[in-house]
Structure 1
Amino acid sequence: MVRTYLVPLMAIIIAAACMQVASSAMMTFVPLFVGAHGGDTAEVGLLAAAYSLGFMGGCLRGLKIINRVGYIRAFAAGAGLTAIMILLARSTDNLMIWAGLRFVMGGAVAMLFSAADAWLSVATPDAVRGRILSINSLAVGLMAILSQVLIFQFATDDQLLLDIMLLLSLCAIVLLCLTRSVPPVTEAKSRLSFREVLREVPVAVTGAFVAGAITTSFLTVVPFALSDAGVTAGTTAFLVAQLYVGRLLFQWPVGALSDTMDRRFLILGCAIIICVLTTLYLAADPFKHWQVANGSQDGLFTILAILLIILGGLSFPLYSLCLAHGFEFKVDNGPALSTYLLFVWALGSVIGPLAISAMAPVFPDTAAPLLAAVLSGLLAAFTLWRLHKRPSQKPELELSYTSYPSAGLGVAPETVANALESASPTCHPLEKPQ
């Protein structure tokens, strides 16, 4: 059953994976670039917040663009704009210019990933959605690991690294534009208010915010903290890659498990474990030991790697869990719901780094894990309360969409024609919300 829905969606999954390489590489490259030019934690937080603020704007504007021009054109426009911003970044090291470029890049990336998320979510039923989203996350997770390999290999050549990111962005455009896969129809629209989403799936909204704040904080602050502790760029890239390794190892089991139970229990479990691990991290203060250690640091290196694998394996799938949980109740408004949740994720991505920048003068070495511990603890408490207030249940859904197969991916053209002929005019309402 999973394969039936997966094959027509492979083009968008692979294209999104290519963009994930460029996006993730930039996420690690920016703090290393700032550190190499004498910057501090506050500047890293500023650039991260600029990117996330642009991401928020892209979520808001992206829905209108998708509805006007369609999924494929919106994705291609986002990837092309990302390529332009990378090209401009090659010519300057000015902090404010970089902040502006990251802002625009955030909007472009948000639009293309909004298109990808909505396409995948609208085109799959609740019974397999968790696994389909997990496969997508596995694909982008593999590419995120590849991005850290690129950082490791080309850390000393900034220009070449940016050129590779530029090339990958262009490849994503070519791949998606050449496919004959049929995207969901975007004409019919039904309004969905954010208040309604918050009332129906508050755990999904809260979890998306926490996921954005935690993952962005990890990806922006961990590289700088390692660099500040005297860790080489290659070792930093390797350790950051462990966040993505964790995502790769945990995503499919978490997604498959989520299809068999109330997803709020999994959200609760992830939040509790993240809170416990970050609290233990605060007590151990490993970066301090790294700075003062004499001789071999293999033991500390291994502990940090394992910790990052587990944190990545729990924090990255958290957004997918929230997205799948939201679609249990609002599948008929897929694009609107996807955009709202992506917007909330981006809001967390803005507030997380800004909060770390504000906390840095008081907690210079522990701001990120402290923030993660507090937010994950609050999410766990809120989810537990919601489980008590609204007992576990699977809502009954009438699937109001058709998953169109793709003639460009090994399916006969007549199969596509039959699917289009049998589709209801109301099959694809398009309002939309790593």
Structure 2
Amino acid sequence: MFKQTLFPIWSLLFGIAILTMASALQSSLIGIRASLENFDTTATGLIMSAYYLGFIIGSLLVPDWVKNVGHIRVFAAVASLASITILMQSVVVNPWFWMLMRMGTGLCYAALFIVTESWLNDIATNNTRGRLFSIYIIEIWASQTLGQFLLNLSSPSGYGLFILTSVLISLALVPLLLVRTPSPTINVPEKLNILGLIKTAPLGVTGVTIAGATSGALLGLGALYAQSIGMDVIEISLFIGASYIGGMFLQWPIGLLSDRQDRRVTILWVGIVGAITAMVVPLGNNMNNQILMMVGMFLVGAFTFPMYSLASSHMNDQLRPEQILSASSGMILLNGIGGMTGPLIAASLMDMIRIDALFWFVAAMNMSVALVAIYRIHYQPAMVIEEQGDQIQVALAVSSVATAEMLIEADSSIEPLEESHEVEIKL
């Protein structure tokens, strides 16, 4: 009986791992292929930003789709569309067409993560959710790291990697569709709009938005940067993979530290260190030292990628329990807006100034969060440490399932669960 209850969790995690692996491969592949096709940097930035625009659009449309046809049908439909969009990019090589397809991919991934994460959130209980989603966060980073190394399986100039991405997306359907799990019911007692979030936790709003801008710029344009300075495919996969490993490596210790002190102080020093480490990569480029550049990417990932979970944790600290789920949808929307604008601004700077401006942009964004943190520390007294939420047990879960809470508009039409599914996880 225990194995039958545990099976849905691991099959869901497997499906999500395959999806994130495909997403990481696709992101770097598009950046490299855009360079090979001589797209200018601004065009590549627009292509990468289109993904986040599609993600935002999808987040607004998907609740109605789920309300009308249910979770499983939506997942199957958008996974098929995601496979089509990546394949079409290998057939029609045009920046405007790629922008349209990339937008479609973002819309599909919004739906995929909304369905799968809400499903996963329903399986978890209050006693297991923190540990489960901590595993989920680490799994996401590990899958994205592996996705970078799949670049070495075929030449980016051909069709092979496009086909592989499509196959991975289709493969993710198999375990999820074979799991017999009722669709989740999501109830949100109180809604909190964006203006309410800004008033309640301005530092949290700043951090969540900037986190989207920096991660969107790094992951969307990092491969283009590496290609532009002469790295081959193996070196590019190591270069981008180093940032994923850094983000995965320090996610947990930074979270623990933020639980033991004023979280704003952790955000402050992470922003400052993130700004400093972002300058290591351009330094390595100027010194023609690839090892230093790899170390720089590890460090910039380690001190830039955790900003989202830190900022969402700080926001969570300021909210009443009945506001948390509603606030999650606002956080993912803000993160998507940052992810849409970040690559576009960074690409424009790379075109107007020099290629290293990508990391200058990341440094400036990290420092801006630090400045807001300084202001808030002086403006508002610190919370009692015991009153802060536990990031490892709560906030990582909130940041992971933020997209799932987009289904709040459909909650009145989703059938209640016929039975509860409680899962005991022993770590």
Q: TM-score range with shorter-chain normalisation?
A: 0.7 to 0.9
| Residue 150 of structure 1, CA deviation | 0.8
| Residue 162 of structure 1, CA deviation | 1.4
Equivalent residues of 1:54, 1:105 under 8 A apart? yes
The residue that corresponds to 2:334 in the other structure is 344
Equivalent residues of 2:29, 2:156 under 8 A apart? no
Are residue 382 (structure 1) and residue 372 (structure 2) matched? yes
Distance (whole Å) between structure 1 residues aligned to residue 35 and residue 332 of structure 2: 30
Are residue 332 (structure 1) and residue 322 (structure 2) matched? yes
The residue that corresponds to 1:413 in the other structure is none
| Residue 198 of structure 1, CA deviation | 2.2
Q: Do the aligned partners of residues 332 and 55 (structure 1) sit closer, same or farther apart at CA in structure 2, a change above 3 Å counting?
A: same
The residue that corresponds to 2:290 in the other structure is 301
Answer with 307-316 or 208-217: which moved more: 307-316
The residue that corresponds to 1:249 in the other structure is 249
| Residue 126 of structure 1, CA deviation | 8.4
The residue that corresponds to 2:94 in the other structure is 94
RMSD: 3.2
Unpaired segments ≥5 residues, structure 1: 291-299, 398-402, 404-415, 422-434
Q: Do the aligned partners of residues 320 and 242 (structure 1) sit closer, same or farther apart at CA in structure 2, a change above 3 Å counting?
A: same
Are residue 194 (structure 1) and residue 194 (structure 2) matched? yes
Give the 3-state SS of the residue equivalent to 1:364 in structure 2: coil
Q: How does 1:50-69 map to 2 (within 5 A)?
A: 50-66=50-66
Distance (whole Å) between structure 2 residues aligned to residue 232 and residue 99 of structure 1: 25
| Residue 323 of structure 1, CA deviation | 3.3
Distance (whole Å) between structure 1 residues aligned to residue 12 and residue 287 of structure 2: 44
Are residue 367 (structure 1) and residue 357 (structure 2) matched? yes
Equivalent residues of 1:19, 1:168 under 8 A apart? yes
Q: Do the aligned partners of residues 418 and 147 (structure 1) sit closer, same or farther apart at CA in structure 2, a change above 3 Å counting?
A: closer
Given the alignment, which residue of 283, 286, 289 partners 2:287?
Answer: 289
Given the alignment, which residue of 311, 315, 322 partners 2:304?
Answer: 315
Q: Do the aligned partners of residues 118 and 152 (structure 1) sit closer, same or farther apart at CA in structure 2, a change above 3 Å counting?
A: same
| Residue 330 of structure 1, CA deviation | 5.2
Q: Do the aligned partners of residues 367 and 333 (structure 1) sit closer, same or farther apart at CA in structure 2, a change above 3 Å counting?
A: same
Give the 3-state SS of the residue equivalent to 2:191 in structure 1: coil
| Residue 119 of structure 1, CA deviation | 5.5
Equivalent residues of 1:134, 1:255 under 8 A apart? no
Identity of counterpart residues, as a percentage?
A: 25
Equivalent residues of 1:131, 1:259 under 8 A apart? no
| Residue 58 of structure 1, CA deviation | 1.8
| Residue 264 of structure 1, CA deviation | 3.4
| Residue 93 of structure 1, CA deviation | 0.9
Structure 2 length-normalised TM: 0.80
| Residue 277 of structure 1, CA deviation | 1.4
The residue that corresponds to 1:173 in the other structure is 173
Deviations 1:30-86, CA, capped at 9 Å, x for gaps? 111011112221121111111121122122323444555555554444433211212
Q: How does 1:96-245 map to 2 (within 5 A)?
A: 96-117=96-117, 131-156=131-156, 158-182=158-182, 184-186=184-186, 190-245=190-245
Distance (whole Å) between structure 1 residues aligned to residue 26 and residue 309 of structure 2: 22
Answer with 349-358 or 194-203: which moved more: 194-203
Q: Which one-letter code corresponds to 1:288 in the other structure? A: N
| Residue 396 of structure 1, CA deviation | 8.4
Distance (whole Å) between structure 2 residues aligned to residue 333 and residue 110 of structure 1: 22
Give the 3-state SS of the residue equivalent to 1:360 in structure 2: helix
Give the 3-state SS of the residue equivalent to 1:158 in structure 2: coil
Answer with 63-72 or 332-341: which moved more: 63-72
Distance (whole Å) between structure 1 residues aligned to residue 250 and residue 69 of structure 2: 36
Q: Which one-letter code corresponds to 2:286 in the other structure? A: K
Give the 3-state SS of the residue equivalent to 2:278 in structure 1: helix
Q: Do the aligned partners of residues 340 and 146 (structure 1) sit closer, same or farther apart at CA in structure 2, a change above 3 Å counting?
A: same
Distance (whole Å) between structure 1 residues aligned to residue 127 and residue 274 of structure 2: 27
The residue that corresponds to 1:16 in the other structure is 16
Count of residue pairs brought into register by the alignment: 390
Equivalent residues of 1:330, 1:337 under 8 A apart? no
Deviations 1:352-387, CA, capped at 9 Å, x for gaps? 111123323432222211111111111011123223
Q: Do the aligned partners of residues 156 and 101 (structure 1) sit closer, same or farther apart at CA in structure 2, a change above 3 Å counting?
A: closer
Q: Do the aligned partners of residues 125 and 322 (structure 1) sit closer, same or farther apart at CA in structure 2, a change above 3 Å counting?
A: farther
Are residue 29 (structure 1) and residue 29 (structure 2) matched? yes
Distance (whole Å) between structure 2 residues aligned to residue 261 and residue 79 of structure 1: 42
Deviations 1:224-252, CA, capped at 9 Å, x for gaps? 12211111122111111111111221223
| Residue 181 of structure 1, CA deviation | 3.9
Give the 3-state SS of the residue equivalent to 1:35 in structure 2: helix
Unpaired segments ≥5 residues, structure 2: 390-396, 398-416, 423-427
Answer with 317-326 or 79-88: which moved more: 317-326
Distance (whole Å) between structure 2 residues aligned to residue 38 and residue 396 of structure 1: 50
| Residue 99 of structure 1, CA deviation | 0.8
Deviations 1:290-318, CA, capped at 9 Å, x for gaps? 3xxxxxxxxx2221111111211222222
Distance (whole Å) between structure 2 residues aligned to residue 48 and residue 357 of structure 1: 10
Q: Do the aligned partners of residues 336 and 104 (structure 1) sit closer, same or farther apart at CA in structure 2, a change above 3 Å counting?
A: farther
Deviations 1:111-137, CA, capped at 9 Å, x for gaps? 322444555667768887665443212
Q: Do the aligned partners of residues 216 and 330 (structure 1) sit closer, same or farther apart at CA in structure 2, a change above 3 Å counting?
A: farther
Q: Do the aligned partners of residues 336 and 129 (structure 1) sit closer, same or farther apart at CA in structure 2, a change above 3 Å counting?
A: same
The residue that corresponds to 2:345 in the other structure is 355
